[in-house]
Amino acid sequence: MKKLLVLIAVVAVGLVVYNYATTGTLALVPPSLAMSQDERAVADLEERFEDARRQFSQAGRGAGLTGMDTTGDAEGALRSVQQISNDLRELQKRLPAGPAKQKAETLAASIQDYAKNVR
Protein backbone atom coordinates (compact mmCIF):
# COMPACT_ATOMS: atom_id res chain seq x y z
CA MET A 1 0.00 0.00 0.00
CA LYS A 2 2.83 2.36 0.88
CA LYS A 3 4.54 1.69 -2.46
CA LEU A 4 1.33 2.47 -4.33
CA LEU A 5 1.00 5.84 -2.57
CA VAL A 6 4.63 6.67 -3.36
CA LEU A 7 4.08 5.72 -7.01
CA ILE A 8 0.98 7.92 -7.22
CA ALA A 9 2.87 10.83 -5.64
CA VAL A 10 5.79 10.41 -8.06
CA VAL A 11 3.45 10.32 -11.05
CA ALA A 12 1.60 13.42 -9.83
CA VAL A 13 4.86 15.32 -9.33
CA GLY A 14 6.02 14.17 -12.76
CA LEU A 15 2.83 15.49 -14.36
CA VAL A 16 3.16 18.84 -12.62
CA VAL A 17 6.81 19.17 -13.71
CA TYR A 18 5.96 18.18 -17.29
CA ASN A 19 3.06 20.66 -17.45
CA TYR A 20 5.27 23.41 -16.02
CA ALA A 21 8.00 22.68 -18.55
CA THR A 22 5.63 22.64 -21.53
CA THR A 23 3.05 25.29 -20.60
CA GLY A 24 4.66 27.39 -17.88
CA THR A 25 1.85 26.78 -15.41
CA LEU A 26 1.84 24.70 -12.28
CA ALA A 27 -1.07 22.32 -12.78
CA LEU A 28 -1.76 18.63 -12.64
CA VAL A 29 -3.90 18.83 -15.78
CA PRO A 30 -2.71 20.91 -18.77
CA PRO A 31 -4.67 24.16 -19.09
CA SER A 32 -5.60 23.32 -22.69
CA LEU A 33 -7.71 20.40 -21.43
CA ALA A 34 -9.53 22.63 -18.97
CA MET A 35 -10.37 25.28 -21.59
CA SER A 36 -13.65 25.57 -23.40
CA GLN A 37 -13.74 25.47 -27.19
CA ASP A 38 -14.12 29.27 -27.30
CA GLU A 39 -11.16 29.79 -24.98
CA ARG A 40 -9.07 27.49 -27.16
CA ALA A 41 -10.05 29.48 -30.25
CA VAL A 42 -8.94 32.71 -28.57
CA ALA A 43 -5.72 31.05 -27.38
CA ASP A 44 -5.02 29.91 -30.96
CA LEU A 45 -5.46 33.47 -32.20
CA GLU A 46 -3.14 34.72 -29.45
CA GLU A 47 -0.52 32.21 -30.53
CA ARG A 48 -0.89 33.18 -34.19
CA PHE A 49 -0.54 36.85 -33.23
CA GLU A 50 2.65 36.17 -31.28
CA ASP A 51 4.04 34.24 -34.26
CA ALA A 52 3.26 37.13 -36.61
CA ARG A 53 4.89 39.62 -34.23
CA ARG A 54 7.96 37.42 -34.05
CA GLN A 55 8.07 37.11 -37.85
CA PHE A 56 7.88 40.91 -38.25
CA SER A 57 10.62 41.40 -35.68
CA GLN A 58 12.86 38.86 -37.41
CA ALA A 59 12.32 40.60 -40.74
CA GLY A 60 13.51 43.86 -39.21
CA ARG A 61 16.56 42.23 -37.67
CA GLY A 62 17.38 40.45 -40.93
CA ALA A 63 17.26 43.71 -42.83
CA GLY A 64 19.45 45.43 -40.26
CA LEU A 65 22.07 42.70 -40.11
CA THR A 66 22.40 41.70 -43.73
CA GLY A 67 21.09 44.74 -45.54
CA MET A 68 18.82 42.49 -47.60
CA ASP A 69 15.35 43.54 -48.64
CA THR A 70 12.96 41.82 -46.23
CA THR A 71 9.87 43.89 -46.99
CA GLY A 72 8.11 40.75 -48.24
CA ASP A 73 8.59 39.07 -44.88
CA ALA A 74 7.40 42.16 -43.04
CA GLU A 75 4.37 42.54 -45.29
CA GLY A 76 3.53 38.87 -44.83
CA ALA A 77 3.60 39.33 -41.06
CA LEU A 78 1.37 42.40 -41.29
CA ARG A 79 -1.08 40.53 -43.52
CA SER A 80 -1.13 37.76 -40.92
CA VAL A 81 -1.93 40.28 -38.19
CA GLN A 82 -4.76 41.70 -40.32
CA GLN A 83 -6.16 38.20 -40.93
CA ILE A 84 -5.95 37.42 -37.21
CA SER A 85 -7.79 40.65 -36.49
CA ASN A 86 -10.54 39.70 -38.95
CA ASP A 87 -10.80 36.19 -37.48
CA LEU A 88 -10.99 37.67 -34.00
CA ARG A 89 -13.83 40.02 -34.98
CA GLU A 90 -15.78 37.05 -36.37
CA LEU A 91 -15.11 35.07 -33.22
CA GLN A 92 -16.16 37.96 -30.95
CA LYS A 93 -19.55 38.10 -32.66
CA ARG A 94 -20.44 34.62 -31.46
CA LEU A 95 -18.71 34.57 -28.07
CA PRO A 96 -20.95 34.59 -25.00
CA ALA A 97 -20.01 36.79 -22.05
CA GLY A 98 -17.31 35.23 -19.92
CA PRO A 99 -13.57 34.65 -19.71
CA ALA A 100 -13.21 33.91 -23.43
CA LYS A 101 -14.93 37.19 -24.31
CA GLN A 102 -12.62 39.10 -21.95
CA LYS A 103 -9.52 37.45 -23.42
CA ALA A 104 -10.75 38.24 -26.92
CA GLU A 105 -11.24 41.91 -25.99
CA THR A 106 -7.74 42.05 -24.49
CA LEU A 107 -6.29 40.45 -27.62
CA ALA A 108 -8.20 42.89 -29.85
CA ALA A 109 -6.72 45.81 -27.89
CA SER A 110 -3.22 44.31 -28.19
CA ILE A 111 -3.61 43.86 -31.94
CA GLN A 112 -4.89 47.41 -32.32
CA ASP A 113 -1.96 48.83 -30.32
CA TYR A 114 0.51 46.75 -32.31
CA ALA A 115 -0.96 47.87 -35.63
CA LYS A 116 -0.72 51.54 -34.55
CA ASN A 117 2.92 51.18 -33.49
CA VAL A 118 4.05 49.28 -36.57
CA ARG A 119 2.64 51.57 -39.22
- The domain spans of the chain are 1-34, 35-118
> How many whole angstroms separate alpha carbon 41 and alpha carbon 61?
30
Give pLDDT, residue 100.
86
What is the DSSP code string of 84-115?
HHHHHHHHHHHPPSSHHHHHHHHHHHHHHHHH
Least confident among 35-39, 67-71, 106-110: 67-71
Q: How far is CA 62 from CA 69, 77, 79, 97, in A?
A: 9, 14, 19, 42
pLDDT in tens, 56-98: 888 766 555 566 555 666 687 788 889 999 999 999 999 888 8
